[in-house]
Structure 1
């Protein structure tokens, strides 16, 4: 399903974070959203996922209007999201964190589901897939930053979204884990999931993306495949500073 925005605008006082952003991501592909700090990328994610309401414009997903809808409504529509700063339950174990993400019903439903063998097995399956099954019984607060990022992604995947938004998945992780994240994204995409990734690591972006959208001052200035974006003079000027 296609995720699109039309005329999306959001201001914080006198600061315009999004300025009439018209964006269309390619379904079934790995999309990247790049741009300099302050260009509106995270605000865009927050508007799309219902964390904040846009001042104007429209958000649609598979033809369904999600403009201003609550985060749980967006999630149930099939859009999952990770955060730049991991959002996990620090005093819950890894498997409890994954179960808490089961839809519908969120945390309460997920914990009650701990009595259901199928859901427990599915949670362990995602932990195994992401390489952290050995931490299933460990509290999240005792996990490394990179392991918490994988745990957060496992929770997102537990909800079975069709489209996954990743906010700086490479931030603060070591090179080995970065390679694993890149491989996971491509493997999960090959299974039919669409990705939209906000990321500053250009090596990662260029190696795994099929389609890149470039933001500057709250709106897209370029969109296309990596080779095209790499050679675009507008991108070089706005993002790379040359």
Structure 2
């Protein structure tokens, strides 16, 4: 499903975070959104997913205007999202975290209601696919940072989103888990999911991305395949000041 923005602007007081961001991410591909610290990447994700409201501009997904929609409505439309800082329930088991992630009533809905076999089996399946099935009964607070990131992603995938936004999936993750995340993204993309990834780890970005958008000062300055982005003078200038 196509995700597009047109002239999206967002300011916090006198600080302009997004300055007319017009972007079109490619459906069915692994897209990356990169840029220096403070370039507006996470603010962009927050606007797209309804966590904050853009001051102006338009955001569309699958041809529908989602600019003013609430986060739960955007999620139901098919957009899933992880965060820089994992959003998991620390005192709940891995299985309950994944089940709670898709319950209409949130946390309480995840703990009450009919936990029928098909739903539990599907949650177990995602934990297995992400390689953390051995932690199924472990509370999230007793997991490593990387394991919590995988748990958060399992909850997102439980909602079966067509488009997945990953906010710095490599942050604080050891190399083995990082390889697992990269492999999983490519596998899920091959199965039809679109990805948009905010990431500072350029090795990961260049190895798994089909299309890269580069932000600087709240707007895109370059886009294209990794082979072009590596040598783009505007990108080198943004990152290195050359």
TM range (shorter): over 0.9
> What stretches of structure 1 of length at least 5 have no aligned partner?
none
Distance in 1 separating the partners of 2:121 and 2:59: 35
Distance in 2 separating the partners of 1:191 and 1:170: 22
What does 1:14-53 correspond to in 2, within 5 Å? Answer: 14-53=14-53
Give the length in aligned residue pairs: 242
Distance in 2 separating the partners of 1:185 and 1:118: 25
Distance in 2 separating the partners of 1:108 and 1:188: 30
Distance in 1 separating the partners of 2:27 and 2:110: 29
Residues 215 and 222 in structure 1, CA contact (< 8 A), matched pair in contact too:
yes
Structure 2 residue 61 is matched with structure 1 residue 61: yes
Q: Deviations over 1:144-194 (max 9, x none)?
A: 000000000000000000000000000001111111110010001111000
| TM-align CA RMSD | 1.0
1:111 Cα offset (Å):
2.7
Q: Deviations over 1:55-80 (max 9, x none)?
A: 00000000011002111011000000
- Partner secondary structure for residue 73 of structure 2: helix
What does 1:83-98 correspond to in 2, within 5 Å? Answer: 83-98=83-98
Tell me the residue number matched to 1:187: 187
What does 1:161-172 correspond to in 2, within 5 Å? Answer: 161-172=161-172
What does 1:60-79 correspond to in 2, within 5 Å? Answer: 60-79=60-79
1:217 Cα offset (Å):
0.3
Distance change (3 Å), C-alpha of 1:204 and 1:74? same
1:113 Cα offset (Å):
5.0
Distance in 2 separating the partners of 1:160 and 1:240: 39
Distance in 2 separating the partners of 1:204 and 1:212: 12
Distance in 2 separating the partners of 1:75 and 1:115: 21
1:110 Cα offset (Å):
2.9
- Partner secondary structure for residue 98 of structure 1: helix
> What stretches of structure 2 of length at least 5 have no aligned partner?
none
Residues 113 and 119 in structure 1, CA contact (< 8 A), matched pair in contact too:
no
Distance change (3 Å), C-alpha of 1:113 and 1:182? farther
TM-score, normalization by structure 2: 0.98
Structure 2 residue 204 is matched with structure 1 residue 204: yes
Distance in 2 separating the partners of 1:94 and 1:194: 25
Residues 99 and 114 in structure 1, CA contact (< 8 A), matched pair in contact too:
no
1:100 Cα offset (Å):
0.5
1:50 Cα offset (Å):
0.5
Distance in 2 separating the partners of 1:16 and 1:160: 34
Residues 84 and 171 in structure 1, CA contact (< 8 A), matched pair in contact too:
yes
1:112 Cα offset (Å):
3.3
